[in-house]
Amino acid sequence: MTSTEQSGAAPLRGSSLAEDYAAAGFGGGLQLGARPALVLIDPARAYVDPESSLYAGVEASQAGMIELREAARAAGIPVFLTRVLYDNASGTLGGLFFQKVPALAAFVEGNPMGEWAQGLEPGDDETVVTKHYPSAFAGTSFAAALNALRVDTLLIGGWSTSGCVRATALDALQSGFVPVVVREAVGDRHVDPHESNLRDIAAKIGEVRSMAQVKEYLSEVAGQA
């Protein structure tokens, strides 16, 4: 029995995974709309402080988030930031998620690791969405806020690519917003889950665009306002 048969996976239709995806009909494009918003997912100190158990070495994407937010502000689009926050060490609000991921104790109220990463503190005109699960949409009023602003496209940066970023992108799609993950503004603790999830997001969920592409898009949006 081959390793492919043992894993239950079908053989590739083509010499590469990209060719297989194309042959299967994945990877269609979504048209970006005229009313975007930006959400930065969980830009917490925990991911960039070496003293934290959640330290992920994602400082490059921290700088990318700062750059992306500056571009969003210049374009005059709404900016949201999410944070994970639990009111006590029992993690009742997090339910099974808190049980599954003990590292979430970093986000119990009062833990300094749950504070904002440097340079990503919310501005007075920016909205903070407090969440207890991976997606910014799960158990929050985020979708209602976007709908009230008539948003059609959601630019996404944050941490981590394989967890809360992917979950938010999927729920954005399912809620009727075009998800656009900005490559330089997302990060993960290892390149393998980072790249594999970017690939799957691009194939099945939304758009993965470079910072340069998103800045060009925001310039066009600002010019039409």
In this structure, is residue 97 part of a structural domain? yes
Both tokens assigned to 130: 């407090």
Q: Give the pLDDT of residue 6.
A: 60
The DSSP secondary-structure symbol of 43 reads -
Mean pLDDT by 10 residues, the chain (225 residues): 60 76 87 98 98 96 98 98 94 93 95 97 97 97 98 98 98 98 98 97 98 98 87
CATH number of the domain residue 151 falls in: 3.40.50.850
Q: Domain residues for 166?
A: 33-224
- pLDDT at res. 115: 97
Contacts of 131 (CB under 8 A, 6+ apart): 82, 83, 84, 138, 139, 140
The answer to whether position 201 is within a domain reads: yes
CA dist., res. 11 & res. 222, Å (int): 46
pLDDT at 22 (0 to 100): 83
pLDDT at site 15: 72
Q: In this predicted structure, what is the pLDDT of residue 218?
A: 98
The pTM assigned to this predicted structure is 0.92
Among the options 164, 167, 201, 214, which is catalytic? 164
Give the chain's length: 225
Does 200 reside within a domain?
yes
The pLDDT, as a whole number, for residue 2 is: 55
Question: How many distinct structural domains can be found in the chain?
Answer: 1
pLDDT of residue 91: 87
Judge contact between 140 and 134, C-beta under 8 A. Answer: no
Question: Is 214 within a domain?
Answer: yes
On whether residue 218 sits in a domain, the answer given is: yes
Active site residue 31: no
**Whole-angstrom distance, CA of residue 83 vs CA of residue 46:** 11
- In sequence order, the β-bridge partners of residue 127 are 80
